[in-house]
Amino acid sequence: MARLHIMREDGKTPGRTGLCGQSATSTLKSTMVVLDPMPAVPPDGLLWCPGCLGGLADRAGVAGFLGQLLSAVGYPEPAAETRTLGG
């Protein structure tokens, strides 16, 4: 599943690097698409980049709140693989 990254607007390459450090450039196999403003949920077929969400929570000053929320949720087991290979 492709990830939706949150681009940083500062640093050496503003708008071209995710808060997680992922470089955002179009390639032969994928085209960079900018969604501005940030959507409330990722478009179909995409998932939030966990690193970018954590980075944005820190910048927004809500990392402590996010930590409290996650502490209340607990540490979940990894999701079971739902896809079947070769079938």
| Residue 26 φ/ψ, nearest 5 degrees | -70, 145
- Give the one residue of 4, 7, 49, 56 binding Zn ion; rule: CB under 5 A: 49
Distance CA 62, CA 68 (A): 10
- Nearer to Zn ion (CB atom), residue 22 or residue 42: 22
- Give the one residue of 4, 5, 7, 8 binding Zn ion; rule: CB under 5 A: 5
**60's tokens:** 């927004």
Q: Which stretch binds Zn ion (CB under 5 A): 12-20, 32-40, 67-75, 76-84?
A: 12-20
H-run or E-run covering 2: strand 2-4
For the bound state, the minimum distance from the C-beta of residue 76 to Zn ion, rounded and expressed in Å, comes to: 21
